[in-house]
Amino acid sequence: MKPGTASAACIALLRRDLLLVWRRRGDALNPLLFAIIVVALFPFALGPETTVLARIAAGTIFVAVLLAMLLSLDALFRSDLEDGSLEQLVLSPHPLSLLLGCKILVHWSTTALPLIVVAPLLAQLLQLPAQVLPVLLAALALATPLLSLIGAVCVALTVGMRRSGMLLTLLVLPLIVPALIFGAGACNAAQDGFAYAAPLLWLGAWLAMAAILAPLAAAAALRISLT
Amino acid sequence: MNPLLLWFHKLGSPPYFYRFAGRWLPWLYAIALVTGAIGFYGGLALAPADYQQGDSFRIMYVHVPCAWMSLFAYLFMAANGFVALVWRIKLSEILAMASAPIGAAFTFVTLVTGSLWGKPTWGTWWTWDARLTSELVLLFLYFGVIGLYHAIEDRRQAARAAAFLALVGIVNLPIVHYSVIWWNTLHQGSTVSFLGPSKISADMLWPLLTVAFATHVYFFASLFARARVALLELESGKDWVRGLLPATEAAHG
């Protein structure tokens, strides 16, 4: 049998993964609920004072979104590992990094994109000033793919482990700290009326680099874990 | 073959390395102890008090060498990890994983001494300054490498996975090193420089360099001790390990 082209394989993989998410759309909503609950806890703990909430709003939303994504990263390869399709991906004649890139894209568009969509709601809950919202959305749009990409490398290393949740957090968080600092930093700068372009440009630069390197690294890591 | 290259290739063989490390181990410990004692005597007793900080600056003789070592150990770990991943050399896997806990300990000591010094000088135990934060991230990276290594059952696969993580985490090293230049926050800039004149009095500098030398030697002593144990564990089924224990084998046989 002749293998199809790489782009056909990517499209098939994208369709399959999106379909799988769609069939279990209840599960896909979990990160969203988690983020909303975490954000809603802060006014309970700190009191409903508008000035306090507005001060911490951007950072809190950032942390909540990153944690919610982290929660869903664990499942990135799990079902594929269990039914054996992950090994088929590794064995396929197409570049593994390209296929993993598709999986990362699906992960980002099914967990991060909904989170970005509800971010304005979260911002309202925490009284974020209206002029900061576009900056927050831009920072999230740049930082969440970074987390998906870096997270995929770490998930590939821990794939097949029974209880990898805590370990995964330990592996991902140190690597994602710069994205958090710069993303939340841009929002805080915008809130204080300073220039905020530089941190966003840094995030964009990292994203461009990670988009190229992370799928390659994830493929190498997956080959290590599956040998 | 070039004798040095031949020796280097031989060193990759576990039994050869085991004997080599065993021969050097007492010497390394002795050198580290003596130079460390000289350096600390020079730093704590001979060096003059600082004109601004008084005697509290002397914690630098622990803090700065440990901070250098925290980066050196990571670099050593990542370099060995690279060798382990590319050439599949068993000894490099062992060395990379043996240096992780030592590096984590140096990083921890750096953070603790820095915070002890920060309290009287800056008036706070901790501040979210760029260098402190990046050093803390370095500690978490070490923990991640150690955690991943112990979470995987197969020792060699665990070492390769953890070595890969160490390579990914190497992006943090330049951030730690240049953090005091890129972000001008509380932590002071570097006063010791390899290229160009150092901004530190010679009376204060020589003990620092002596202690730094001692910590490097100590690192290798500790590394050899750990690597020897790890090698015995990994190769416990091999003939050369059985040959080391003729008495017990006779008892079992």
- Tens of pLDDT, residue by residue over B56-72, are 788 889 999 999 999 99
Indicate if the pLDDT at residue B195 is higher than 60: no
Residue A117 included in any domain: yes
Please give the pLDDT value at position B54.
Answer: 74
Q: What is the ipTM of this complex?
A: 0.83
Domain that holds residue A185: 6-226
Indicate if the pLDDT at residue B194 is higher than 50: yes
Indicate if the pLDDT at residue A128 is higher than 80: yes
Please give the pLDDT value at position B196.
Answer: 59
**Nearest CB neighbour to B140, from listed A161, A174, A225:** A174
Asked if B146 has any chain A CB less than 8 Å from its own CB, the reply is no
Asked if B179 has any chain A CB less than 8 Å from its own CB, the reply is no
Chain B residues in contact with A175 (beta carbon < 8 A): 141, 168-169, 171
Please tell me the distance from the alpha carbon of residue B134 to that of residue A174, in angstroms, as a whole number.
Answer: 9
Chain A residues in contact with B140 (beta carbon < 8 A): 170, 173-174
Indicate if the pLDDT at residue B184 is higher than 70: no
Mapped onto helix, strand or coil, the DSSP state of residue B96 is helix
| Strand (E) or helix (H) holding B76 | helix B60-87
Indicate if the pLDDT at residue A153 is higher than 60: yes
Total domains present in chain A:
1
Please give the pLDDT value at position B251.
Answer: 53
Indicate if the pLDDT at residue B181 is higher than 80: no
Residue A1 included in any domain: no
CA dihedral A107, A111, A117, A121 (to 10 degrees): -160
What average pLDDT does range B175-181 have in this prediction? 74
User: Is residue A118 within 8 Å of residue A40, measured between CB atoms?
Assistant: no
What's the pLDDT band for A60 if we cut at 50, 70, 90? very high
Please tell me the distance from the alpha carbon of residue B187 to that of residue B224, in angstroms, as a whole number.
Answer: 34
Closest-CA distance of chain B to residue A167, Å: 7
Alpha carbon separation from B19 to B3, B25, B219, B223 (Å, rounded): 19, 10, 18, 14
Asked if A173 has any chain B CB less than 8 Å from its own CB, the reply is yes
> How many C-beta atoms surround the C-beta of residue A76 within 10 A?
24
* pLDDT tens-place string over residues A69-113: 988 888 888 888 888 888 888 898 899 999 999 999 999 999 999
Please give the pLDDT value at position B192.
Answer: 67
Alpha carbon separation from A212 to A102, A208, B214 (Å, rounded): 13, 7, 42
Chain A residues in contact with B169 (beta carbon < 8 A): 174-175
User: Is residue A32 within 8 Å of residue A69, measured between CB atoms?
Assistant: no
Chain A residues in contact with B161 (beta carbon < 8 A): 157, 221, 224-225
Please give the pLDDT value at position A162.
Answer: 73
Comparing alpha-carbon positions, the chain A residue that sits nearest to B144 is A171
Closest-CA distance of chain A to residue B148, Å: 7
What's the pLDDT band for B162 if we cut at 50, 70, 90? very high
What percent of chain B is predicted at pLDDT more than 90?
Answer: 45
What percent of chain A is predicted at pLDDT more than 70?
Answer: 99
Residue B48 DSSP label: P
CB contact under 8 A, A224 and B152: no
Highest mean pLDDT pick, A45-49, B143-147, B196-200: B143-147
Indicate if the pLDDT at residue A148 is higher than 50: yes
Please tell me the distance from the alpha carbon of residue A33 to that of residue A85, in angstroms, as a whole number.
Answer: 29
What average pLDDT does range A140-162 have in this prediction? 91
Q: Interior CA angle at A222 toward A220 and A227, to 5°?
A: 100
Residue of B141, B127, B139, B138 whose CA lies nearest to B183: B127
For B149, the token pair is: 């290594």
Please give the pLDDT value at position A213.
Answer: 93
CB contact under 8 A, B133 and A177: yes
- Residues 78-97 of chain B with CB under 8 A from chain A are 85
Residue A186 included in any domain: yes
Asked if B165 has any chain A CB less than 8 Å from its own CB, the reply is yes
Arch. (CATH architecture) of B24-46+55-188+199-233? Up-down Bundle (1.20)
* pLDDT tens-place string over residues A186-214: 998 998 888 889 899 999 999 999 999 99
Closest-CA distance of chain A to residue B152, Å: 7
Chain A residues in contact with B96 (beta carbon < 8 A): none
Domain ranges of chain B: 24-46+55-188+199-233
**Nearest CB neighbour to A224, from listed B143, B147, B161:** B161
Mapped onto helix, strand or coil, the DSSP state of residue B154 is coil
What average pLDDT does range B28-53 have in this prediction? 87
What average pLDDT does range B76-80 have in this prediction? 94
Residue A199 included in any domain: yes
Asked if A178 has any chain B CB less than 8 Å from its own CB, the reply is yes
Chain B residues in contact with A154 (beta carbon < 8 A): 165
What average pLDDT does range B73-83 have in this prediction? 94
Phi and psi angles of residue B54, each rounded to the nearest 5 degrees, phi first: 65, -140
Q: Which of B1-15, B19-33, B103-117, B172-186 has the lowest mean pLDDT?
A: B172-186
CA dihedral A147, A206, B71, B139 (to 10 degrees): -20
Highest mean pLDDT pick, A20-29, B136-145, B180-189: B136-145
Please tell me the distance from the alpha carbon of residue A134 to that of residue A196, in angstroms, as a whole number.
Answer: 11
Please give the pLDDT value at position B253.
Answer: 45
Residue A29 included in any domain: yes
Asked if A174 has any chain B CB less than 8 Å from its own CB, the reply is yes
Q: Interior CA angle at B217 toward B91 and B214, to 5°?
A: 160
What average pLDDT does range B214-232 have in this prediction? 94
Chain B residues in contact with A158 (beta carbon < 8 A): 148, 151
